[in-house]
Amino acid sequence: MPTLLVKNADVLVTMDDGRRELKGGALFARDGVIEEIGLTADLPQTADVVLDMTGHVVVPGFVNTHHHLYQNLTRTVPAAQDALLFDWLKTLYPIWARMGPEHIRVSAMLGLAELAETGCTTSSDHLYLFPNGARLDDEIEAAVEVGIRFHATRGAMSIGESKGGLPPDSLVESEDAILADCQRVIETFHDCNPFAMIRVGVAPCSPFSVSRELMRDAAILARQYGVRLHTHLAENAEDVAYSLEMFGVRPGRYAEELGWCGPDVWHAHCVELDGSEIDLFARSRTGVSHCPCSNMRLGSGIAPIREMLQAGVSVGLGVDGSASNDSGHMLNEARQALLLQRVAKGGAALSARQALEIATRGGARVLGRSDIGHLALGMAADLAAFDMRAIEFAGAQWDPVAALVLCGPVRATATIVGGRLISADGRCVTIPRQTVLSQHELLTRRLINAER
């Protein structure tokens, strides 16, 4: 039973029920689970692995609630740099259609390494296209190698251009095949036990790329297995217009009609939710993944996060796909979330600690996990440490916790998942990092060159 001692943290941010911040904090974990937490002097002095975190702030590992890892291969594609959502998608679909299993695996490894290096310990991913034999298995394999906790969601697109949908027909699948594969990946990979490293969700891509029937059947299937549901919703004004035109209702009502509200559902973006939809989400305990960088990058708008939090909606943060962010850094996302709410609502709209909370505890709630997201007895030893002696934090010693969000963003000195160090000094240590970078570069070059 391996043990871990993290000691002498300048501040250990527990995010526990009392939101305690322990100066000179420490925690002791056995077999990946926190056994003791408190002041360094009161805890065991030795362990199999001892990390002296003098000069550091230690936080619960970040929980990323929305991503499309494969998009790491298509960052900053010139023709898609300045487009709004629908045109952005139509520009990138033909490039994505050329991917295969190796693209999915390598880009997932790279994207998850980026997240790990910046303090993320649990990530979800929304994979909704499976060209040329690609499978959800390919990214799960990558996550196992990186050692991050992973919620893979089996996405899908079934309504192609010829039927009034947005994606090209070559990227859509039959609805029977989609449901059969959802069932396969749940049965193969989903682990419902506490401290699970892999969970699977069901995630039709969006109301504008699948049918009403698939949305409904996906919800029924997910509930048969007790897995979670995820999709994109109300991302921008075009998205709402599509819903009104095609379904005659706003996105919130559409979701409700098809069984897509509830404590086992989380929706990405929700930029355009109105007051009644916010109430619906609060009442039904439906979760939201807020992706501020992506929303700004695509000019989608400002999600009403302050109103959602006030209404009691579960809100987590997501970096979203790397073709619409083009970064996978949760501290940056927390910072941008804070800044963006202030643009819309003024200075006190979101505090640094609230931003940190939705990046950790909030994300865990959105993913339906009670074993991660804060540091307390019996919780997973998932944490990240940041060196406050970095130049980025100079002059901010009054409040290192707020500094973590307001300054920087920086890489983590240590990222620990289940008591295991997966990133040290901002470098993922579980994978052949340079090899993965080279493979990724080659795959990108071939994908983009084939376009020319």
Which positions lie near Zn ion, rule CB under 5 A? Answer: 320
Cβ neighbors of 180 (< 8 A, separation 6 or more) are none
Residue 208: CB minimum distance to Zn ion, A: 13
Joined tokens for residue 223: 């509930």
Q: Which residue is nearest to Zn ion (CB)?
A: 320
Beta-bridge partners for 314: 287
Identify residue 220 by its one-letter amino acid code.
I
CB 359 within 8 A of CB 404: no
Bridging pattern class, strands 62-64 and 120-127: parallel
CB of 128 to Zn ion, least distance (A): 9
Residue number, 8 or 71, with CB nearest to Zn ion: 71
Q: How far is the CB of 343 from Zn ion (least distance, A)?
A: 22
* Distance of closest approach, residue 268 Cβ to Zn ion, in angstroms: 5
Asked whether 171 and 93 are in contact (CB, 8 A), the reply is yes
Q: What is the CA radius of gyration of the chain?
A: 21
Q: Which is nearer to Zn ion, 153 or 430 (CB)?
A: 153
Count of Cβ atoms closer than 10 Å to residue 147 Cβ: 23
State the nearest-atom distance from the C-beta of 238 to Zn ion, in Å: 15
Q: Which is nearer to Zn ion, 264 or 320 (CB)?
A: 320
Q: State in angstroms the smallest separation of the CB of 71 from Zn ion.
A: 9
The nearer residue to Zn ion, 21 or 320, going by C-beta atoms, is 320
Closest distance of CB 232 from Zn ion, Å: 5
- Residue (139 or 320) nearer to Zn ion, CB: 320
Give the Å distances, CA to CA, from 165 to 160, 205, 335, 348.
Answer: 5, 12, 35, 41
* CA distance linking residue 105 with residue 107, whole number of Å: 6
What is the H or E stretch that residue 385 is in? Answer: strand 383-387
| Three-state DSSP state, 297 | helix
Give the nearer residue to Zn ion in terms of CB position, either 242 or 386.
Answer: 242
* Cβ proximity to Zn ion, 145 vs 320, nearer residue: 320
Task: Report the alpha-carbon distance of residue 252 to residue 153 in Å, rounded.
Answer: 21
